[in-house]
Amino acid sequence: MGSDDWRSCSDNEDYLQDGNEDDDEEDCYSSGFLSKLQFRKDISKARWVDDLAMAEVVEKKGKMWVTMGIVRNGNTYCSIEETLFLIEIGALHVLDGNDIHLSLKELYEKLSNGKSGCYWELFEVYKHLRSLGYVVGRHGIPWSVKGQQIKSGTCSLEGSQESNEMLEMEPKDENSVIELFNNMQITDVSPAFNVYLPNSKFRKSSPGDPSFVLYISRCSPPSRVEIEALERKHGAIPFKFCHVENGRVSFFSLAKTELPVLP
């Protein structure tokens, strides 16, 4: 591999391509900056399920459900980041098991306890992409699986299962390299979201390949070993990196260049 040309952009730069501006179901997310606790006439309702660390939707209103929530056994469930996002834009009310309304502060506390497979920086990334109009789903979690029940822990963002699958695909003499990547993936670079361009024809039952897979880089940029492993894993599907610092969301992509041999 030649030199890695790091290109970064953040906030509203045109690195993230603009989608179809006529997509009605995404119009409410296109402002770029969302004020908390907006008020709407039609508000959906959900019930928080502690064992799943998700919200089960009990009353749907609005078009956003075409691109939000996963479907299991006919029921729709929202991850913690989807739940918080919808509450902040005033599109969802969440109740506990006793039908008591949960405040935004209480949901923030559930995010901070680490049981949901999400954390604050990840939520900021999700909110940023959704506010730009992108369709965003957790990586490795199917939108819809017919007849499959949702289980506790299915929305974990840890990459151990994916790493094991990658290990099985690699030649045995490269196991040590992939094991190194496997160990680093959890602590430094981890897959977070499948990201799709705004699309009025999007269907959870057949979403197709994502426009790119987004990885969260928590510390230093990914190493060459990590990048090459990801290239083998994803094939033709692009992948990008994201870093959050002091509330600023930055995205990175890579390009290969051939350096001339100097005399």
Name the average pLDDT for the chain.
74
- pLDDT (tens digit, 9 = 90+) per residue, 202-222? 999 999 999 999 998 877 777
> What number is the average pLDDT over the span 65-77?
92
Q: Which residue has the higher pLDDT, 122 or 17?
A: 122
d(CA 158, CA 129): 21
> Distance between alpha carbon 172 and the CA centroid of its chain, in Å?
31
Q: Which domains does the chain have, with CATH numbers?
A: 44-118 (3.40.1170.20), 120-145+180-256 (3.40.1350.10)
At residue 101, the pLDDT reads 93
Render pLDDT for 25-61 as a digit per residue (tens, 0 to 9). 444 443 344 444 555 678 999 999 988 899 999 999 9
- Total count of residues recorded for the chain: 263
Integer Cα distance of 186 and 218 in angstroms: 10
- N-to-C CA span, the chain: 21
pTM of the predicted protein model: 0.70
Distance CA(192)–CA(43), nearest Å, equals: 28
Residue 160 has pLDDT above 50, yes or no: no
Residues 196, 256: Cα–Cα separation, whole Å? 24
pLDDT over 60 (residue 112): yes
What SS3 class is residue 71?
Answer: strand
pLDDT tens per residue, range 124-137: 999 999 999 999 99
> Alpha carbon of 242 to those of 102, 141, 153, 253, 258: distances in Å?
31, 19, 24, 9, 25
Q: Is the C-alpha dihedral spanning 128, 10, 197, 219 positive or negative? A: negative
What pLDDT sits at residue 203?
Answer: 92
Bigger pLDDT: 107 vs 177: 107
- Nearest-angstrom CA–CA distance, 111 and 120: 7
